[in-house]
Chains A and B, each alone.
Chain A
Amino acid sequence: MANSDTPLLDELEKGKWPSFVKDMKQAAQKNPMARDLIRQLELSYKDKIGHWKHGGIVGVRGYGSGVIGRYSDRPDLFPNVQAFHTMRVNHPTGWFYKTDTLRKLCDIWDKHGSGLTNMHGSTGDAILLGTTTNHLQACFDDLSSAGFDLGGSGSALRTPSACVGPARCEWACIDSLDICYDITMTYQDQIHRPMFPYKFKIKVSACANDCVSSIARSDLSIIGTWKDDIQINPQEVLTYASRINIQKEVCDLCPTRCMEWNGRDLKIYNEDCTRCMHCINLMPKALRPGKEKGATILVGGKAPIVKGALLSWVIVPFMKLEPPYDELKSLIERIQDWWDENGKSRERLGELITRLGMRVFLKAVGLQAVPQMVKAPRTNPYVFFWPEDIKKEVK
């Protein structure tokens, strides 16, 4: 057997798990870009350094985002990846495709790019990996004809994303798909023409299970919840009691200890419930979310880039979300305007709130402080009031 010219990458094909190297080698059989990509990656593994030059070209006619420029720093060795731009394609909400649509997308990418895709990137978009500068516009035109559009990149509103919501999930408290689509269509200008200090992400989860991890990954999280009492089916509770230890697995693991179980009846003190959904997840036939549904709005989540990671912070405990979502959009616009006005370059919303303070943020966007906003109520219950508010209280 002939010696492989990619011995380091070959190691990643061993084992039972799927291998991206196997996929790249498959693509390399019909595409010279994929062939050079593998060889360049092997060199990166050998040199222990990336061989990409980042940045540059950003879009197609009329767009300022959706294309991420990438160039090889060794075009002498790998001429087919001299330019290897990424195209971010706005995914269908909830990632539902018909097979013929997926085939169309792949055909377009086979025609214009390396044939390699990342379905899906962490932003949610369909990521098409590797095309040349002169193919960008033609590829975009073909994508447009097939009904696709580019997503957000750079200092823009990134492509909003949502969980599958009511399409497949019985716990959905809001129509995450419709909200996400509506927001995407409303804010096309912010997605395609970057004018923000930095990236801004909106993610929608239809319940507190938060399947899109909006709380950790987005500047503005919209998470479905309910306002009234958890619905209980006592008969089903008893059925679960024969299979699981309700005291140990449900009541003792409730974060606010708002449940009592006496061996026959389950009592929930709803006023103490934080809607974490742990009990509902464990006993789905016995417990259901309440009937008065809406969403909690949180802000400030982000990954560790530039400064440390932050989790989102509740700013609206409950908002009824129904089309055309005017209350939500008005809030989004007030938040973005304040951030755009006050944020430094490359400063995310959460970092700005940390720098200037939550009370400044609340005043600017016109929200009243409420107990649910206390970030760590059981360890740090303090809220910093404005001096004039304290004087009023004293009087």
Chain B
Amino acid sequence: MSEDLKVRVTNLFREKSRGDKKMFYIRDVTKWLPNEDRHAVQNVVKELLEEEVLKYWSSGSSTYIMLAEFFPKE
């Protein structure tokens, strides 16, 4: 179940990142999957962050999540 959800979350990130917008709030991610348990989605996102498929981006006050491949280079 978790693996399936992980694939769906990753695919949704790819789909939503096709435009200019690459960074999303965790709230956006849970809204993409309204029928899934919010905690389950958050846990999957944490796993994807751990695996470095996703990356955090923070302004210091707000945190966004994005696909690692789009993380801005220094």
Which residue numbers of A lie inside 8 Å of B, CB to CB?
A: 54-56, 58-59, 62, 64-65, 68-69, 71, 83, 86, 133, 153-156, 193-199, 305, 340-341, 343-346
For this complex, 14 residue pairs linking A to B, each with C-beta atoms less than 8 Å apart, are: A54-B59, A64-B49, A68-B60, A154-B56, A154-B58, A154-B61, A155-B58, A155-B63, A195-B45, A196-B26, A197-B26, A198-B62, A343-B27, A345-B25
**Which 4 pairs between the two chains have the least Cβ-Cβ distance?**
A154-B63, A55-B59, A154-B58, A194-B63
Is the beta-carbon distance between B74 and A133 smaller than 8 angstroms? yes
A143 to chain B, nearest CB (A): 19
Contact between B38 and A58, CB atoms less than 8 A apart: no
Question: How would you classify the secondary structure of chain B's contact residues: helix, strand, loop or mixed?
Answer: mixed
Query: Could you say which of B28, B46, B56, B58 has the most chain A C-beta atoms within 10 Å of its C-beta?
Result: B58
B38 in contact with A346 (CB, 8 Å):
no
- Contact partners of A65 in chain B: CB under 8 A: 56, 58, 63
> Which residues of chain A are near B46, meaning CB under 8 Å?
193, 195
Contact partners of B72 in chain A: CB under 8 A: 56
Q: Is B50 an interface residue (CB 8 A)?
A: yes
* B42 on interface, CB distance cutoff 8 Å: yes
Which single member of A55, A62, A195, A199 contacts B26 (CB below 8 Å)?
A: A195
Structural contact, B61 and A305, CB atoms closer than 8 A: yes
User: In the complex the two chains form, what is the Cα distance from A360 to B15 in whole Å?
Assistant: 36
Q: Chain B interface (Cβ within 8 Å of chain A)?
A: 25-28, 38, 42, 45-46, 49-50, 56-63, 72, 74
| Cα separation A305 to B49 with both chains bound (whole Å) | 28
* Given contact pairs A155-B26, A340-B38, A345-B27, A56 touches B57 in the complex (Cβ within 8 A): yes
Residues of B within 8 A of A55 (CB): 57-60
CB-defined contacts of B74 to chain A, threshold 8 Å: 56, 71, 83, 133
20 more A-B residue pairs beyond the given contacts A55-B60, A56-B72, A346-B25, with a C-beta to C-beta distance below 8 A: A55-B57, A58-B63, A64-B49, A65-B56, A83-B74, A153-B58, A154-B56, A154-B58, A154-B61, A154-B63, A155-B25, A155-B58, A194-B58, A195-B45, A195-B46, A198-B61, A343-B27, A345-B27, A345-B62, A346-B62
Of A71, A153, A154, A195, most B-chain CB atoms within 10 Å: A195
Q: Is the interface of A mostly helix, strand, loop or mixed?
A: loop
Q: Which residues on A sit within 8 Å (CB–CB) of B62?
A: 154-155, 198, 345-346
Q: Chain B contacts of A68 at CB under 8 A? A: 58, 60
Measured between beta carbons, the chain A residues less than 8 angstroms from B28 are 345
Closest to A70 in B: B60
* Contact residues in A for B57 (Cβ distance below 8 Å): 55-56, 58
CB distance from B19 to the nearest CB of A (A): 18
What residues of chain B lie closer than 8 Å to A156, measured between beta carbons?
63
Shortest C-beta distance, B11 to chain A (Å), equals: 20
Alpha-carbon distance A62/B46, docked complex (angstroms) = 10
Say whether A341 contacts B38, CB under 8 Å.
yes
| Interfacial chain B residues near A193, Cβ < 8 Å | 46, 49
| Chain B positions within 8 Å of A62 at CB level | 50
Docked complex Cα distance between A58 and B66 (Å) = 12
Are the C-beta atoms of B56 and A54 separated by less than 8 Å? no
Residue of A nearest to B24 (CB): A345
Residue from A71, A83, A345 having most chain B Cβ neighbours under 10 A: A345
Nearest CB on A from B55, distance (A): 8
How many angstroms between the C-alpha atoms of A165 and B49 in the bound complex? 38
CB contact between B56 and one of A64, A199, A305 (< 8 Å): that residue: A64
Which residues of chain A come closer than 8 Å to B27, judged between CB atoms?
A: 197, 343-345
CA distance A83 to B26 in the complex (A): 27
- Give complex CA distance A155, B58 in Å: 8
- Cα A133 to Cα B28 in complex, Å, equals 29
Q: How far is the CA of A64 from the CA of B50 in the complex (A)?
A: 10
Chain A, residue nearest B55 (CB): A58
Neighbouring B residues of A199 by C-beta, 8 Å: 61
B42: nearest chain-A partner, CB-CB: A195
In the assembled complex, which residues on chain B have CB atoms less than 8 Å from the CB atom of A86?
Answer: 60
Question: Which residue of B has the minimal Cβ distance to A134?
Answer: B74
Q: How far is the CA of A154 from the CA of B55 in the complex (A)?
A: 14
Residues in A neighbouring B59, C-beta threshold 8 A: 54-55, 154
**Distance A195 CA – B42 CA, assembled complex (angstroms):** 7
Please give, as numbers and ranges, the residues of chain A lying within 8 Å of B49 by CB-CB distance. 64, 193
A59 touches B60 (CB 8 A): no
